Amino acid sequence: MSSTYHHGDLYRQALEQAQALLHEEGAAAVTLRALARRLRVTAPALYRHFRNRDSLLAALAEHGFLELRQQLLAVQRDDALERLTGIGQAYIAFAQAQPNLYRLMFGGQLLPRGAHPDLDAAGLGAFAVLQQSIDDALDAGYLNGQPAGPLTAAAWSLVHGFAELTIDGHLPDEQQAPGLAALVTRLLLPGGPPSHHDNTL
């Protein structure tokens, strides 16, 4: 009399174990059958909760974007420019702490856009934090009043690129020093009204 024929909350546990699998072994290891084995359930059972494997991966990526957004929102500084650089560093820290998750979020496996609307929305939500903090910095007179659009694109490109290159080991070792992330996030920002942040390297 297996008292757990009905598992109870397979959906939640599946997400948790899938996150563990992703974190430990990468997206390729997030297999419906492997996940089912971990949960002591047969593979087709998972189809009651996920349309297919891609939907499961999309759900993981979506959670990743939601978590990233929260970590960016948690950066609080008085000065708008300091907050912007802090956000950049938090972004990089997120990617370095969970490289497999980050690769799933940006690896391009879940394309095309529109296939997973919730995922797209979560991605925009994270992007919005960065965008807002740039607007705030501009309002505070920083960034030489450059147009917000290209600035945002450049800022995101910089942190995203640095995050990916470091977690994939593409940058030479000496350029992976812990402090470099901070340095890089400041290179883009050639000053503004208060001068307590020169690019004094």
Contacted entry of DNA, its own copies, none for residue 38, CB cut-off 5 to 8 Å set by kind: none
Q: Which two tokens stand for residue 28?
A: 């390729």
CA–CA gap between residue 23 and residue 25 (Å, rounded): 6
What mask, x for binding its own copies by CB under 8 A, covers residues 47 to 86? Answer: ----------------------------------------
Does 8 help bind DNA (rule: CB under 7 A)?
Answer: yes
Residues in CB range of 199: below 8 A, 6 or more apart: 186, 187, 189, 190, 191
User: Interacting stretch for DNA, rule CB under 7 A, among 28-36, 68-76, 180-188, 189-197?
Assistant: 28-36
Residue 178, preceding bond cis, omega within 30 degrees? no
Contacted entry of DNA, its own copies, none for residue 65, CB cut-off 5 to 8 Å set by kind: none
* Alpha helices (runs of H) in the chain, residue ranges in sequence order: 10-25, 32-39, 53-73, 80-97, 99-106, 117-139, 148-167, 180-187
Residue 136 φ/ψ, nearest 5 degrees: -60, -45
Q: DSSP secondary-structure letter at 194?
A: S
Contacted entry of its own copies, DNA, none for residue 66, CB cut-off 5 to 8 Å set by kind: none
Site for DNA in 29-88 (CB under 7 A): 31-34, 40-45, 47-49, 52-54
Does 147 help bind its own copies (rule: CB under 8 A)?
Answer: yes
Using the structure block, give the residue that is written with the tokens 């394309």: 111
Residue 105 has a CB neighbour count (10 Å cut-off) of 24
Nearer to DNA among residue 58 and residue 189 (C-beta):
58
- In the list 42, 52, 70, 175, the residue contacting its own copies (rule: CB under 8 A) is 175
Query: b/e map of 159-178 (b: 16 or more CB within 10 Å)?
Result: bbebbbebbeeeeeeeeeee
Of 89, 90, 106, whose CA–CA distance to 164 is shortest?
106
User: Interacting stretch for its own copies, rule CB under 8 A, among 5-13, 66-74, 134-142, 160-168?
Assistant: 160-168
Where does this chain bind DNA (CB under 7 A)? 1-3, 5-8, 10, 31-34, 40-45, 47-49, 52-54
Where does this chain bind its own copies (CB under 8 A)? 28, 99, 103, 106-109, 111-113, 123, 127, 144, 146-147, 149-154, 156-162, 164-165, 167-171, 174-175, 180, 183-184, 187-188, 190, 199, 201
